[in-house]
Structure 1
Amino acid sequence: MTLPPAPLLTPSRQIAIREDWLARRQEEILLPGLPIIDPHHHLWDHPGERYLFDDLLRDVGTGHDIRATVFVQCGAMYRADGPEALRPLGETEFVNGAAAMSASGQYGPARLCAGIIGMVDLTLGDRVAPLLEAHLALAGPRFKGVRNRTAWHPSPEVRSNLVTPPPGPLAHPGFAEGARVLARLGLTLDVWAYHTQLPGVLALARAVPELTVVIDHAGGPLGVGPFAGRRAEVFPEWRRSMLALAALPNTVVKLGGLAMQVGGFEFHRAELPPDSATLATAWRPYVETCIEAFGPARCMFESNFPVDKGMCSYAVLWNAFKRLAAGAGEAETAALFSGTAARVYRLDPIGPDQA
């Protein structure tokens, strides 16, 4: 059989989505009645990259019991004019509209974008207060926190943002002060950082112990550029940093994002998409390390769609997560798939009567 064309990278260096290729792998949904909150996805319409409400709706409707989702900052629909600090309000407006559509019930029972993680530049320090209040005024209780562009490495081969961020926002003198304002308002901070940056995340979490710091994408173990072919060397370094972060009670971690191009897994280059058992085997060392270190009550599985969609479908991805959690008890499973996300992002809990 002829191999599929080599996958292209999008302008933001994500693996291009090939729906026809993904359709080659169909699986029966495991545990279809398990309630899930997907705490990390995006919506955007960037050049060469389009993933909007209808696209998300199709993915969450592929068989798993998705009850709610959380949108996370990605530079979508910023205002074209006005003061620079206010332009990210356009993203919150855009996503709040999608959330309102879903809340109408017209598009099914799942509440898409029930939580919104937006963008406010925390390096502005205590000047972020009116900006955060503006986001809250637009989205009300749907606005749960912020994420800044922080994932950075000096190698040009290590990139996962449409716009390359400056090298050191986490260490900026104003960042911790801005983070303290977040905490005062009861908001969370999502941080997307590569494993090489985790000591900086640790310093921030220590400096602002009253803030809930959400570590995105399992702490970003790298597998490209200078880290290509060095997984055995990267793992212990990543693990040491994750154990240090887990020792702080104000940190939680998202289990996912391992199908990104920067992670170095190359299942997207195969003739057929990976099955869930293959993904679970590959990701088990990272997922089990996180669950053992943080505990299920501080871990949550995430889709990171559409970024991870370049390597696997939504249905297969959640099957892989269910395989990874197969040894957990009922309470631990509920935490991993919905409870932690509901608590951290202050969403409606999923109780036994709703399951």
Structure 2
Amino acid sequence: MTVPRPGPGVVDAHHHVWDLSVRDQDWIVGAELTPLRRDFGIVDLEPEARAAGVTATVLVQTVTVPEETPEFLSLAARSDLVAGVVGWTDLTAPDVADTLAALREGPGGEYLVGVRHQVQGEPDPRWLVRPDVLRGLAAVAEAGLVYDVVVKPHQLMAATEAAARLPDLTFVLDHLGKPPIASGALEPWAHEARSLAALPNTVCKLSGLVTEADWGSWTTQDLRPYAETVLDAFGPERLMFGSDWPVCRLAASYAEVVSTAGELTAWLDRAERQEVFTGTAVRTYGLTRVPLT
């Protein structure tokens, strides 16, 4: 079978890097995550990305420490591949606006395009609508940045409420909201994803599917109902591809992730595929350094 390729000029809107000699990734625990307990850098990603037709990427935070974001911005300034950084800052801090301004004004600050917090790890399912968090999210909007939402299905309702309260802030849903692909269940995830998509200031990443499926036996058909749900709900103009490298390596190679995304969107016309694999990311994050070939 010939696997459809997205084409040249692909933007990978979601990947990570880490250096364990700089700091530990304390979320990498247990035997099943052992393959991730090593360094992953841009030098490792670049040949795989180029081979897949990817010409620009968005580097996304991994840990909730303030030092990581300036490091990522400096890396972006030195890289020909990284076109934007989604960093981290404490949204509940009284000086969050000043912190964001300092990041924007510091080295590589022009590459800061968004902010993310590991909401999926928060015990309060309504963390996103706490008054102090909403205040921080408003500061993100005022800074001209977007907010990446990494949540589990039971937290999607709060994400929708936060997006409704802050219409000037673009909310980007990472990994489709982590639907239970391995179990095959669609509800209540699909209903909550559609509720979020009903708001015009929301975007979704076609990312993280393979690691929500059965790592050893997933097929494209297992992923299809979830991809089709968000394609129908958000539309191609509010959907963007992301690899979630190197986490995706637990279930698939980089090339497999890209080609599977191509299969899942093969029925779209050329302009719609261009949106999913390039246009939506460029527009949402305001990326300026995106080679087309």
TM-score normalized with structure 1 length: 0.73
1:183-205 Cα distance to aligned partner (Å, 9 max, x none)? 11110000100011100101100
Q: Distance in 1 between matches of 2:245 and 2:124?
A: 25
What residue number does 2:71 align with?
94
Aligned partner letter, 1:52: G
Q: Distance in 2 between matches of 1:124 and 1:40?
A: 26
**Contact 2:6–2:277 (Cα < 8 Å) also in 1:** no
Match of 1:267 among 211, 215, 222: 215
- Residue 38 of structure 1, CA deviation: 0.4
> CA separation of 1:206/1:100 partners in 2, compared to 1, >3 Å: closer, same or farther?
same
> In percent, how many aligned pairs have the same letter?
36
**Contact 1:343–1:349 (Cα < 8 Å) also in 2:** no
Q: Distance in 2 between matches of 1:39 and 1:92?
A: 17
Aligned length: 276
Larger radius of gyration: 1
What residue number does 1:64 align with?
52
What residue number does 2:177 align with?
219
What residue number does 1:191 align with?
149
Runs of at least 5 residues in structure 2 that lack an aligned partner in the other structure: 25-36
Matched position secondary structure for 1:318: helix
Runs of at least 5 residues in structure 1 that lack an aligned partner in the other structure: 1-26, 79-87, 104-110, 153-164
Larger relative contact order (Cα-Cα within 8 Å, sequence gap ≥ 6)? 2
**Contact 1:123–1:172 (Cα < 8 Å) also in 2:** no
**Contact 1:116–1:145 (Cα < 8 Å) also in 2:** yes
- Residue 31 of structure 1, CA deviation: 2.9
What residue number does 2:205 align with?
254
Say what the alpha-carbon RMSD is for the aligned residues. Answer: 2.2
1:131 aligns with 2:99: yes
Aligned partner letter, 2:171: V
- Residue 34 of structure 1, CA deviation: 3.1
Runs ≥4 in structure 1, deviation > 6 angstroms? Answer: none
Q: Distance in 2 between matches of 1:36 and 1:247?
A: 27
What pairs with 1:71-150 in structure 2 (closer than 5 Å)? Answer: 71-75=59-63, 78=65, 88=66, 90-103=67-80, 111=81, 113-124=82-93, 127-138=95-106, 139-150=108-119
Q: Distance in 2 between matches of 1:91 and 1:187?
A: 18
- Residue 95 of structure 1, CA deviation: 1.6
- Residue 69 of structure 1, CA deviation: 0.3
- Residue 121 of structure 1, CA deviation: 1.3
Q: Distance in 1 between matches of 2:252 and 2:119?
A: 26
- Residue 28 of structure 1, CA deviation: 7.4
Match of 1:283 among 208, 223, 228: 223
Matched position secondary structure for 1:70: strand
**Contact 2:17–2:42 (Cα < 8 Å) also in 1:** yes
What residue number does 2:34 align with?
none
